[in-house]
Chains A and B, each alone.
Chain A
Amino acid sequence: MNIVEVQELRKQYDPPKGVLALDGVSFDIAEGEIFSLLGPNGAGKSTTISMLSCLLRPSGGDARVAGHSVVSEAQAVKEVIGVVPQDIALYPDMSARENLVFWGRMYGLSGEALKKRVDEILELITLVDRQKDRIEKFSGGMKRRVNIGVALLHKPKVLYLDEPTVGIDPQSRRSILDGILALRDQGMTILYTTHYMAEAQELSDRIGIVDHGKMIATGTHDELVNVVGEEARVTARVDHYLDGMAERWREVQGVEQVDLEADEAVLLTQDPNEVLPRLFEAAAAAGARITEINVTEPNLEMVFLHLTGRALRE
């Protein structure tokens, strides 16, 4: 059952000539799954989150969260979502506990229930012993954890996380990713945005690839990889090129495509383990020596490259 249904969502700033930030994006998120929006900076990920959070009014289309329209039932939508913004949105001159108490009140909690929930969240984000310290004294990772904790106070049905691991150390990043997986295991639905391919690959049940305000592909990791034909990419360099080298490699069994780019050859193959020894043999037979070789298994980077003609980081 889908808990989030996005239909032709569109956002144009200062119409009719302003920037078209989102151009008819549609996707669904099933209850209890992690759905990642993957795309480069400026692709429209944060705009999508802002509209699903009722912060931005769509120029067109609609989205329903737990059955409520973000256009006409904003208050009901806000009751069931928790939002973790990209930047730390906390009060630095207040302690971790004071922040959690304040935000808990904003989510309608009070009295003993609020106190109990704040204690639970402090346990969850492992900051019980630092709860009385001001946020401004925290490390980046600790701030991130409080930032996420705030969004969990009211036990939302759907949690939006907008690039929550930007700019933090690997240990904190690991802690956050594990926490997100634990939340999913508890049944929470998560919409996650990132431009880190590895994060999307590790966390997501399904992924939506966004570029220039458009959803260019959605599916599981394997489904998306199938888009590029499940071929591994082998990049090879030799000490010197000989005439007909490309042709010799094309004749190697298992090699499906060879492109020569400057001093580098890019080969596509379904089974790199079988092909690699033959490539060395072919090079030696031609009087050349391979000096460098890289194998890249099919991944989201390749999918993005395949679909847009650009690397994800460009």
Chain B
Amino acid sequence: MTKIIAIAWKDLRSTARNMPALVMMLLAPLALAALLGFAFGGGGGFDIAATKVAVANLDRGGGSAAAPGAGATVAGILTSPGFRDVLDVSDKGGARAARTAVDDGKDAVAVIIPADFSNVVYGGSPLARTQVELYENPTQQIGGAIVEGVVGQALLEFNGARAAAAGALALRAPGDASPAVLAKGAAEQFARAGGATTVLAISQRAPQVPGDRHSRNVSVTGSILAGMMVFFMFFGAANVARTILDEDRAGTLPRLFTTPTSYGIILGGKFASVFVTVALQATILLVAGRLIFSIEWGRLDAVVLLTLVAASVASGLALLVISLTRTPAQAGAIGAGVYLVLALLGGNFTGTAQGSGVYSVAQKLTPNGWLLRGWDTTMRGGGTGDLRWPLLVPLGFAVAFFFFAVLRMRRRFA
């Protein structure tokens, strides 16, 4: 055991003195996560920054006294709790003020509801027309699209209600109400219900952790950093494992084999140094992610287990790659290819988001795909009970990698 610790300690010190390696292992994943996180919305979470909307409701009302104005209904939909996270709505009173707010960059979109809006919605004339004006900053494409979608949906509901009533009447035998009256009644009913938000409104929904009623949303930066962390753990492990080939060329590995130290202990020491290095790397990244990006990684026991399993997989794979290559240059080239393919298949570059169809199957064929699934689960609040497969499958990979690596190395150095 003393010898294993001595070998591992020597390698750890060597790695600690290797500044380029440290930069790649620690700074690169943090920098990439920060860049991608900010690119996808400020790094705080999946919640896209709320679009500022200026509303000018000029609607004079209409319909029966009991029915609310149709314009107020549309404005009400925009300010409903369902859209509070994506739309920041303010009432500007008039059309000019609303447009000025957009021109000044204070708001992204102005929604101007015309004065005859209720009259047209509730009116009996099938030929009447009116338009809700969307005045938007062309650079705010996402915000504009959201507002357009919400308003368009409301108008569609009004039109749909009127069309449904008219259609139903047309199918009935002549009765006691005209189509116009029925259409008006249907529209009033729609408005009375507060719009169709409960039926067709857009809702934001996150995947649920099995068995967890309190599933959290995963922050964009957290998702990306988890993917980057696993990806760079593979590279970090490869960097340390490559010292086996470096030592072989430098003559220190053959010299180690002339000492009364068994192959198992030497390889064990090497594995320990790789394992501890990547476990430390992951720990530093987890802490940095928490401190810098306020990422909630999840429950401590689950995070620790997942980190240890990830370190095992990275170490086992790195040793396997080393055992299959002859020179450090070969190991670098082949290793980079293997890690890149695994990252693409496993989904490291798309954070912890889970794919569908064939891609989902591909993710399940890779250890990193399972690890990302695990990180997704912990970040959503899942515990160790929810991590059975995301822990066991990568652990199986790690054992297999290490087993074949030891076989190859014993054969090679015996």
B198: Cβ under 8 A from any A Cβ: no
Task: Give the chain A neighbours of B255 by CB distance below 8 A.
Answer: 83, 85, 89, 150
Task: Give the chain B neighbours of A94 by CB distance below 8 A.
Answer: 10, 13-14
Which residues, 72 to 96 on A, are CB-close (under 8 Å) to B?
Answer: 75, 78-79, 81, 83, 85, 87-91, 93-94
A47: Cβ under 8 A from any B Cβ: no
Expressed in whole angstroms, the minimum distance between the Cβ of A25 and any Cβ of chain B is 19
Q: Which one of A13-21, A51-59, A125-133, A177-185 is at the interface?
A: A51-59
A105: Cβ under 8 A from any B Cβ: yes
CB nearest to B266 among chain A residues? A106
CB nearest to B9 among chain A residues? A102
Known A-B contacts A55-B257, A85-B251, A106-B6; A91 and B14 likewise in contact (beta carbons under 8 Å): yes
Task: Give the chain A neighbours of B250 by CB distance below 8 A.
Answer: 87, 89
A244: Cβ under 8 A from any B Cβ: no
Expressed in whole angstroms, the minimum distance between the Cβ of A51 and any Cβ of chain B is 11
Which residues, 225 to 283 on B, are CB-close (under 8 Å) to A?
Answer: 250-252, 254-262
B17: Cβ under 8 A from any A Cβ: yes
Interface of chain B, helix or strand or loop or mixed? helix
Contact residues on B (Cβ < 8 Å of other chain), bracket: 20 to 34
Contact residues on A (Cβ < 8 Å of other chain), bracket: 20 to 34
Determine if B3 and A89 form an interchain contact, defined as CB atoms under 8 angstroms apart: no
Expressed in whole angstroms, the minimum distance between the Cβ of B264 and any Cβ of chain A is 12
B414: Cβ under 8 A from any A Cβ: yes
B203: Cβ under 8 A from any A Cβ: no
B356: Cβ under 8 A from any A Cβ: no
CB nearest to B14 among chain A residues? A93
Task: For the complex, give the distance between the alpha carbons of A256 and B252 in Å.
Answer: 54
Determine if B251 and A106 form an interchain contact, defined as CB atoms under 8 angstroms apart: no
Task: For the complex, give the distance between the alpha carbons of A88 and B247 in Å.
Answer: 12
CB nearest to B13 among chain A residues? A94
Which residues, 1 to 50 on B, are CB-close (under 8 Å) to A?
Answer: 2-3, 6, 10, 13-14, 17
Task: Give the chain A neighbours of B10 by CB distance below 8 A.
Answer: 91, 94, 102
A108: Cβ under 8 A from any B Cβ: yes
Q: A: which residues have CB within 8 A of B? A: 53-55, 57, 75, 78-79, 81, 83, 85, 87-91, 93-94, 102-103, 105-108, 110, 150
**A90-B252, A106-B259 given. 15 additional CB < 8 A pairs?**
A53-B258, A54-B258, A75-B260, A75-B262, A78-B259, A85-B251, A85-B255, A89-B252, A89-B254, A91-B10, A105-B2, A105-B3, A106-B3, A106-B261, A150-B255
A sample of 14 cross-chain residue pairs with beta-carbon separation below 8 angstroms, ordered by A number, consists of A55-B254, A55-B257, A75-B260, A78-B260, A85-B251, A85-B254, A87-B250, A89-B251, A90-B252, A105-B6, A106-B6, A106-B260, A106-B261, A150-B255
